[in-house]
Amino acid sequence: MRIPDLLVLFRHLGVEKNVLIEVKTSKREQLAIRSEDLASMQEYAKRLSFPLLLAWKPRRLGLWLLVDPVHTVTKGGKSILTLDAAIKNNLLGTVAGDFMVVPKPGAGLFIDLEIRETYSKSESGFKAMMQVLNAEYRSGCGEPSPKVPWSISAMIFANMESHTCVLDNAIQQSFVARSQAMSAQQILRTAVAFQLNDQDPVRWLHVAKKLEHVLQKKTLEHELGSHIGAFVQYLFQQHPKNWPSHLPEEWNYLPDDSTIG
């Protein structure tokens, strides 16, 4: 009998539920599992009276999805989960607290530098000694923000672009968040991996033991929500198209405004 990868205890709205999770990644934007393997895991889950879910990361998408295997389609001895079905029925937001954020255009970190001395200059560029005059976060409206929480910094650094503006005797370097949707899981990874080198993996088993000391979901959601209009343009919470009957009905709800911000 095939045993799923994880046994996870979810605690949400005062209700606890043990869930078995099979973890998969794929290069293609569809997931294929041997049908006999899936059936074996479902039988194991049935014997324990635990739900079975699939955690799938299409590597080109770069996001984790959590899906009930009931949405797979059997074909040629394989159980196929399409990207369309997985996104429509993604449970990661409702069950595990993931959500989507769109940063405010133009929000970011701005550094103003003064050119103190130029050593060499040519048509292709120059070498100079510079001094930092000012470094500050600015909202999408261009307003300085001296007290920016780590959640906002992590959001900016999770999906930023760099701009350099060269004037006669000054340079402005900016690191601005792209105005495109990103997930809370991407922001969390940035917060965790901020002090790592680009190629160093995040060792999640170690991180999980102290994750609440890095960045809590409740804190992330509150701080991003409280900066809507300044650093955040939109904040979305996804509700799955179909709710699994084997998960608590108490979790199957649409949040009101009081849960955001």
State the pLDDT confidence band at 210, using cuts at 50, 70 and 90. low
Which amino acid is it at 227? H
Q: How far out from the chain centre does Cα 231 lie?
A: 17
pLDDT of residue 261: 40
Q: Which amino acid is at 250?
A: E
Structure tokens that stand for 195 in this block: 């002090």
- Band of pLDDT at residue 166, cut at 50, 70 and 90: confident
Q: What is the mean pLDDT of residues 84-106?
A: 93
pTM (whole model) above 0.85 = no
d(CA 90, CA 221): 19
Q: Please answer whether residues 12 and 92 qualify as being in contact, where contact means their C-beta atoms are separated by less than 8 angstroms.
A: no
Per-residue pLDDT, 197: 57
Measured CA angle at 215 (ends 83, 63), to 5 deg: 10
Q: Measuring CA to CA, how many Å separate 206 from each of 45, 64, 158, 203, 209?
A: 27, 19, 21, 6, 6
54 touches 67 (CB < 8 A): yes
SS (H, E, C) the chain: CCCCCEEEEEEECCEEEEEEEEEEEECCCEEEEEHHHHHHHHHHHHHHCCCEEEEEEECCCCCCEEECHHHCEEECCEEEEEHHHHHHCCCHHHHHCCCEEEECCCCEEEEEEEEEEEEEEECCEEEEEEEEEEEEEECCCCCECCCCCHHHHHHHHHCEEEEEEECCCEEEEEEEECCCCEEHHHHHHHHHHCCCCCCCCCCHHHHHHHHHHHCCHHHHHHHHHCCECCCEEEEECCCCCCCCCCCCHHHCCCCCHHHCC
Q: Span 224-233, mean pLDDT?
A: 95
Q: Provide mean pLDDT across the span 44-52.
A: 96
Query: How far apart are alpha carbons 211 and 220 in whole angstroms?
Result: 13
What's the CATH number for 6-98+243-250?
Answer: 3.40.1350.10
As a whole number of angstroms, the distance between CA 110 and CA 131 comes to 14
Confidence grade of residue 199 (pLDDT, cut at 50, 70, 90): low
Res 27: pLDDT: 92
Report the C-alpha gap between 51 and 48 in whole angstroms.
9
CATH 3.40.1350.10 domain locations along the chain:
6-98+243-250
Kindly state the tokens that stand for 239: 């509700």
